[in-house]
Amino acid sequence: MKEALHNILKYSEAKNVFIKFSIDNNRFNLEISDDGKGFGNEYGRPPFREWTT
């Protein structure tokens, strides 16, 4: 979470950040999004959302 927020502040030029916490079937979920500029996938990584699934 710390790295995600740091990257939003440093790179995205976002005006808003959205943080959602939820618990579903005894599983803790955290979703972080922003309204800033995105970036290309020039590093061949999967989208950030897929890193934790």
Q: Which long-range contacts (CB under 8 A, 24 or more apart) does 27-31 make?
A: 30/1
Q: Could you read off the pLDDT of 8-29 as tens digits, one per residue?
A: 899 888 999 999 999 999 999 9
- Three-class DSSP category at 24: strand
Distance of CA 48 to the CA centre of its chain: 6
Which backbone phi and psi does 45 adopt, to 5 degrees?
Answer: -80, 155
Reported pTM: 0.63
At residue 5 the predicted structure's pLDDT band, cuts being 50, 70 and 90, is very high
Q: Where are the domains of the chain?
A: 2-52
Strand segments, DSSP code E, in 2-51 are 17-24, 27-34
